[in-house]
Structure 1
Amino acid sequence: MQLDTNLKVAITGANGQLGFQLVKNLSGKVKLKAFDRASLDIANSFEVEKKLTAFTPDIIINAAAYTAVDKAEQEIEQADAINHFGAKYLAQTAEKLNAILIHVSTDYVFNGESDTPYLETDKTNPQSIYGKTKLAGELAVIEHCSKHIILRTAWVFAEHGNNFVKTMLRLAQSQPELRVVADQTGGPTYAGDIADAIISICVQLKNTEESRWGIYHFSGMPFVSWHQFAVAIFKQAESLKLINKIPVTNAITTADYQTPAKRPAYSMLNCDKIDKQFAIKSSNWAKALENLTLYK
Structure 2
Amino acid sequence: MTATCRILLTGARGQVGWELRRTLASLGEVVALDSRTLNLADADAVRRTVREIAPAIIVNPAAHTAVDKAESEQDLAHAVNAIAPGILAEEAARLDALLVHYSTDYVFNGSGDRPWCEDDACDPLNVYGASKLAGERAIAASSCRHLIFRTSWVYGARGSNFLLTMRRLMRERPELKIVADQIGAPTWCRDLAEATALILSQVSACGFDQWGVYHMSNGGETSWHGFAEAIQALDEFDETCAPSRLLPIPSSDYPTPARRPLNSRLNNDRLAQVFGLRLQDWRAALALCMDER
Q: Cα deviations across residues 257-280 of structure 1 (Å, max 9, x unaligned)?
A: 000000010000000000111111
Distance 2:157 2:292 in 1: 6
Distance 2:59 2:252 in 1: 37
Q: Cα deviations across residues 104-151 of structure 1 (Å, max 9, x unaligned)?
A: 000000000032100000000001000000000000000114301010
1:211–1:241 CA distance, 2 compared to 1 (3 A): farther
Distance 1:99 1:26 in 2: 16
1:167–1:96 CA distance, 2 compared to 1 (3 A): same
Look up the match of 1:163: 161
Look up the match of 1:60: 58
- Unpaired stretches in structure 1, ≥5 consecutive residues: none
Deviates most, 21-30 or 189-198: 21-30
Pick aligned residue for 1:277 from 256, 274, 279? 274
Displacement after TM superposition at 1:285 (Å)? 2.5
Pick aligned residue for 1:259 from 248, 256, 259? 256
Residues paired across the two proteins, number: 292
Alignment of 1:109-258 (within 5 A): 109-209=107-207, 211-238=209-236, 244-258=241-255
Native 8 Å contact 1:149 1:213 kept in 2: yes
Distance 2:238 2:91 in 1: 49
Deviates most, 205-214 or 278-287: 205-214
* DSSP-derived class of the 2:7 partner: strand
Native 8 Å contact 2:151 2:215 kept in 1: yes
Displacement after TM superposition at 1:205 (Å)? 1.2
Deviates most, 210-219 or 272-281: 210-219
* DSSP-derived class of the 1:288 partner: helix
Distance 2:26 2:207 in 1: 28
Native 8 Å contact 2:175 2:244 kept in 1: yes
Native 8 Å contact 1:118 1:268 kept in 2: yes
Distance 1:110 1:194 in 2: 20
1:275–1:246 CA distance, 2 compared to 1 (3 A): same
Native 8 Å contact 2:81 2:135 kept in 1: yes
Look up the match of 1:47: 45
- Unpaired stretches in structure 2, ≥5 consecutive residues: none
* DSSP-derived class of the 1:167 partner: helix
* DSSP-derived class of the 1:151 partner: strand
Deviates most, 206-215 or 85-94: 206-215
1:225–1:194 CA distance, 2 compared to 1 (3 A): same
Deviates most, 32-41 or 124-133: 32-41
Native 8 Å contact 2:221 2:282 kept in 1: no
Displacement after TM superposition at 1:243 (Å)? 8.5
Deviates most, 169-178 or 132-141: 169-178
Deviates most, 41-50 or 184-193: 41-50
When normalised by structure 1's length, the TM-score is 0.94
Q: Cα deviations across residues 37-76 of structure 1 (Å, max 9, x unaligned)?
A: 1111223332222222222211100111000100111110
Give the % identical residues: 39
